Chain A
């Protein structure tokens, strides 16, 4: 298990650095997209670890994207503050709403968060001011840090890597040590840990808020990278893709969703030459992966070991 983790870590770090060696424009583009989608997949992963499937993640990503875009473009706040707001606003909303919806478990929680995600997207569509309706928001400023504008794809990619690394650190703190024991206990035997003094709802709200914050960071990076956002980028399909990344990579370990993102983000590009077949082949690949690797690729590697 430890060897698998070390090999995987080296492999992922190697892949993360590979754009610097390849240096092509398209490679940078794919690498940045992988980072942004990996963040969303990680945010979903955190919820899966406490046994709750949140389908509102793309909605939180959208909140982050719109918050960051509007604050930097129309209010003129620096990018880093925009990013901070993109993390804080969804986190705060998740924390408040979590007090009610986290009392619900299983399929009902998935359905509630599905409705919540769709409602968030509807707000972006219906409130043309300030969200721009179906047209979305354009001319979102490029990210800049302390006066240094990240115009090149290389520099933006470094920013994405930094945010991914920070999110991994947050997940590590939450999933290891004492906090990890509590979250695993809540997932495996909630009545027992509650009977010993754990405030289950407070812990779930904490996880939900952290998860929404990471999704929001993903949205901010997405907005400032593409400089254009529209509501349909944050609908249920985006959440499902993040879920598929978790399933393909494996939900047992934090590296799972990252491996999933590395495999799934470039996949549609591989089938690009056969446009008509693209969706079909993509779907077929997913079915094959799920049938033959129910525990994801990370699970397969661990079994081989």
Chain B
């Protein structure tokens, strides 16, 4: 039996007169890998921001694990087990890779000042952070870079670190915004392998925005396509690839790829 873990119900968002997302509805079951595709400006990142970024919907609602999370602050959504990674590499200055992973866990525990200063098990929290960091270093193959300053790493490794930090807080579902953007072929392959492992070995559901269509079609068991803020196709990769609306949105470029 599968339960809808993330449900987007008739969600719209406009900025002034621009309708970035219009009446989009879908439900994602636990343990799936879902791809979110569409041309530039289709509203994919806006949709992510509506789900995890504290951006209020103009209408409609978003539900996760039975809670209405529409407009929740990002920190609160993360605490629910819904964590995102970013399109651009995001690192903190002066911290090493290992410290990033430890801090990810510590940030998760210290959501508010009260949570930090009233934590009676600080030592245990630090121990947990240390152990999680070591474990995630191995899982993501970042061990040889563990003591390097993250900001000085190659771009591709910074993006792997972004996913690694998200994994470190043990989410139920990971929303990845263009994980392969800016990566070369080898790095893309490494990212794809990492996502497969995240899903298969850690049981984390994935929702991936990606422009690299071959990768997203290989990786995902379901594809949701947006164009100009509207949902235009929803189904298995094969179904979506052959849907006329999807082909039209990509002006034939997909027909070549297919």
* A residues neighboring B (CB under 8 Å): 178-179, 181-182, 184-185, 188-189, 191-203, 206
Contact = CB atoms under 8 A, between A and B. Distances in A.
Contacts of B154: none
B103 A195 contact: no
Interface of B: 52-54, 73-76, 78-79, 83-86, 90-93, 103-104, 106-114, 116-117, 162, 165-166, 169
Interface centre among B85, B86, B104, B110 (most CB of A within 10 A): B110
Contact of A197 (B53, B90, B113, B169): B169
Given A179-B116, A197-B79, A191 B110 contact: no
Nearest to A202: B112
Contacts of B84: 195
13 contacts: A179-B113, A181-B103, A182-B116, A185-B103, A195-B84, A197-B109, A198-B75, A198-B107, A199-B111, A199-B112, A200-B74, A202-B113, A203-B112
Q: Do most interface residues of chain A lie in helix, strand or loop, or is the interface mixed?
A: helix
Contacts of A185: 92, 103, 107
A202 B83 contact: no
Instruction: Please provide the 8 A-B residue pairs with the shortest distance between their CB atoms, ordered closest to farther.
Output: A194-B74, A197-B108, A206-B113, A197-B78, A202-B112, A199-B75, A192-B90, A196-B107
A195 B88 CA distance: 14
Contacts, number: 87
Given A194-B73, A196-B107, A198-B75, 8 more contacts: A181-B106, A182-B110, A191-B74, A191-B86, A192-B162, A197-B108, A200-B73, A203-B113
B69 to A, nearest CB: 14
Contacts of B92: 184-185, 188-189, 192-193
A206 B53 CA distance: 22
A196 B108 contact: yes
Contacts of A182: 107, 110, 116
Contact of B106 (A178, A184, A189, A194): A178
B111 A197 contact: yes
Which of B85, B104, B109 is most buried by chain A, counting CB atoms within 10 A of its CB? B104
Given A181-B103, A189-B92, A196 B83 contact: yes
Nearest to A196: B107
Contacts of A199: 73, 75-76, 111-112
